[in-house]
Structures are given as C-alpha cells and as structure tokens.
Chain A
Amino acid sequence: AQSVAQPEDQVNVAEGNPLTVKCTYSVSGNPYLFWYVQYPNRGLQFLLKYITGDNLVKGSYGFEAEFNKSQTSFHLKKPSALVSDSALYFCAVRDTGNTPLVFGKGTRLSVIA
C-alpha cells in the first residue's frame, strides 16, 4: 500500500526567501506524485506532478519539486516566497494510473511579510 509523509505541520518563511515543503513517499511500484494547495474553505488546486521523465518538475505559481528516487522524496520548492503563498499544501501519491490518491497530512505554509 502507498503512503505519504509530510514531516512538518507548519513551515514559516519570510517573504522573498526560498521555501521548501518536505514530502516522502512509499509505494510498491513506480510512483505518481502530486502537490496540491488548499486555501481556507476551498477545494484543492493542482500545483504539479511527477509521472516520469525529468526529476525536476516545474508547476504553477513558480513552484517546483524534485523527485529523488533514492531518498523517496518529492520536496516542494520555490525560490522566492510570496505572502499569497500562505496556504495548506498536500503531497499525494498513487502507484498506478487507476488507484485513488493517498494524501499526506498537509503542511501549513506561512509566509511573513
């Protein structure tokens, strides 16, 4: 069975500084990895995904993530944080195209002006 770990409940970063939100995963086969963002009382917005190919994936709003197979990680990064990036971020994984996504517990990002 697949699982996702987001070790940090909260990440605080100053505006303009780089940010990293950590994610590690466990799957039996090849992973399909995703990052989503959720604003208060809203659904999930897709940021980026890794299916195959280049380990560095670029997504929406300047976010990117690096797939590291040896460390089973898929950390989300952004070179320069904005206050508007403050939200709840979820990492998710599935092991085939047809299985449901399994979500991490979420990491709340707070960007301080």
Chain B
Amino acid sequence: DAKTTQPNSMESNEEEPVHLPCNHSTISGTDYIHWYRQLPSQGPEYVIHGLTSNVNNRMASLAIAEDRKSSTLILHRATLRDAAVYYCILRWNTGFQKLVFGTGTRLLVSP
C-alpha cells in the first residue's frame, strides 16, 4: 500500500482557514486521494477525494500538487465543530482496496 505522511497535530483559530498537508511521494497513477475525518466519540466520516484536479465540496477543498506527490485539505473557515482527526488515504477506484487508516492529523480549533 502506498503510504501517506501527515503532521501529528495542527492548531487553528475559529473562522480562520486551515490547510492540512499530506505527503504521498509513492503514489501511483491509479491512486485516488481520499480524506476522512473523525470527530470525538464518532466514527470516521468522508470528507472529499480527488485524482488530479482540485476538488471542492460543501465541507472542504482538496488541492493536489501537479506531480501528485502531495495534497492539501483546505477548510475555508474553521469552526469548533471541525476539531477532529483528519486522515489522508490513498485508494484505487477500480476493484476493491481496503481503506487503510494511518495516524492522521489532530486538528485543534480555538475560539
């Protein structure tokens, strides 16, 4: 499985943008970049995913480097509810591949 590297923790203030980085230098051409997050005492929830182009949805934006060796999850205005562990995961989109969670980045949001 291609590996991802994320910082253990990051801090942000409420209503400020947050950029969560992920390095995946061994990514292959068929790997999609998925992001999940896990709020306290809850199961993980899907955030966003992409292949090559930047992606936006109601929760976040995903910026993918041109060489695809890194990506950044962007929360445009952090809220207290965004405090969670964010997981960056590589996954094929054809055939089945296990969703393998790493250690993720713990995001702390201060009022």
Q: Decide whether A and B are members of one complex.
A: no
